Structure 1
Amino acid sequence: MKRTVLAAIAGLAFGLIAGAASAQDYPWKPDRPVTIIVPWAAGGSTDQMTRIVAAELEAELKQKFVVVNQPGASGSIGTKNALEAAKDGYTWAAGAAVDVGTYRVLGLLDTDLKDWRAFFAVANVSAIAANPAAGFKDFGDFLEKLKRDGDNIPVATAGLSSAGHNMMESIRAATPIKYKHVTYNGGAPAVVSAVAGETKAVSQLLVEMSEHIKGKRLVPLVVMAEKPVMLEGYGEIPPTVKWLPKMPAPMNYFGIWVHKDAPPAVIQTMEAVWRNKIAKSEAVQKYANARSAIFAPLFGDEAQTEAFKMIRYTAWLYFDAGKAKVSPDTLGIQRLQ
Structure 2
Amino acid sequence: MRIVKLAGITGVLALLSTPLAAQESEYSWQPDRPINIIVPWAAGGSTDQVTRIVAPILEEALGTEVVVVNQPGASGSTGTRAALDAARDGYTWTANAIANNATYSVTGLIEGTSIEDYHIYLHVANAPVVSVNADSEYQDFPALLEAMKSGSVTVATAGVNSSGGMALASIKQQAGDELAGARMITYDGGNPAVIAAASGEAITTTQLAVEQAEMIRAGRLRGLAVLSDAPLEFEGVDPIPPITDFISDFHVAKDYFGVFIPAGAPQEVYDTVDQVWQDHVMDSELLKEYAAKQGAIFDPSYGDGALEKAMPVVIDEACARVERGEAVIDPSEIGIDCSQ
Structure 1 and Structure 2 fold alike (TM over 0.5): yes
Q: Which residue type is aligned with residue 95 of structure 1?
A: N
Distance 1:231 1:284 in 2: 14
1:336–1:241 distance in 2 versus 1, CA, 3 Å: farther
Distance 1:119 1:182 in 2: 31
Tell me which residue corresponds to 2:29: 28
Structure 1 contact 156–182 (Cα < 8 Å) conserved? yes
Q: Deviations over 1:158-212 (max 9, x none)?
A: 0011111111111111121121110011100000000111101111000000000
Structure 1 contact 131–195 (Cα < 8 Å) conserved? yes
Q: 1:139 aligns with which of 122, 138, 141?
A: 141
Structure 1 contact 309–336 (Cα < 8 Å) conserved? no
Question: What is the RMSD computed on CA atoms of the aligned residues?
Answer: 1.5
Tell me which residue corresponds to 2:14: none
Q: Which residue type is aligned with residue 204 of structure 2?
A: A
Structure 2 contact 22–64 (Cα < 8 Å) conserved? no
SS in 2 for 1:298: strand
Structure 1 contact 156–202 (Cα < 8 Å) conserved? yes
Q: CA deviation at 1:247?
A: 1.6
Q: Which residue type is aligned with residue 122 of structure 2?
A: F
Asked if 1:160 is matched to 2:160, the reply is yes
Asked if 1:89 is matched to 2:109, the reply is no
Q: Which residue type is aligned with residue 263 of structure 1?
A: P
Q: Which residue type is aligned with residue 169 of structure 2?
A: E
After superposition, where does 1:209-248 map in structure 2 within 5 Å? Answer: 209-248=212-251
Structure 2 contact 22–62 (Cα < 8 Å) conserved? no
Asked if 1:190 is matched to 2:188, the reply is no
Distance 2:231 2:31 in 1: 43
Q: Which residue type is aligned with residue 288 of structure 1?
A: A
Kindly, what percent of the aligned residue pairs are identical? 41
Q: Which residue type is aligned with residue 234 of structure 1?
A: V
TM-score, length of structure 1 as denominator length = 0.91
SS in 1 for 2:120: strand
Q: Which residue type is aligned with residue 165 of structure 2?
A: H
Q: CA deviation at 1:332?
A: 2.6
Tell me which residue corresponds to 2:257: 254
Structure 1 contact 231–237 (Cα < 8 Å) conserved? no
Q: Which residue type is aligned with residue 185 of structure 2?
A: V
Unpaired runs of 5+ residues, structure 2, are 1-20
Q: CA deviation at 1:306?
A: 1.4
Asked if 1:295 is matched to 2:298, the reply is yes
Q: CA deviation at 1:214?
A: 0.4
Structure 2 contact 22–60 (Cα < 8 Å) conserved? no
Distance 1:50 1:112 in 2: 22
Q: Deviations over 1:106-130 (max 9, x none)?
A: 0000312111001011011111110
Structure 1 contact 39–71 (Cα < 8 Å) conserved? yes
Structure 1 contact 312–336 (Cα < 8 Å) conserved? no
- Choose 1 or 2 for highest CA Rg: 1
Tell me which residue corresponds to 2:77: 76
Distance 1:48 1:251 in 2: 18
Unpaired runs of 5+ residues, structure 1, are 1-17
Tell me which residue corresponds to 2:269: 266
Tell me which residue corresponds to 1:3: none
Tell me which residue corresponds to 2:103: 102
Distance 1:198 1:125 in 2: 23
Greater mean alpha carbon deviation, residues 223-232 or residues 320-329: 320-329
Structure 2 contact 35–67 (Cα < 8 Å) conserved? yes
Q: CA deviation at 1:327?
A: 2.0
Q: CA deviation at 1:156?
A: 0.5
TM-score, length of structure 2 as denominator length = 0.91
SS in 2 for 1:295: strand
Q: Deviations over 1:86-118 (max 9, x none)?
A: 000000000100001110110000312111001
Give the helix-richer structure, 1 or 2. 1
Distance 2:265 2:203 in 1: 45
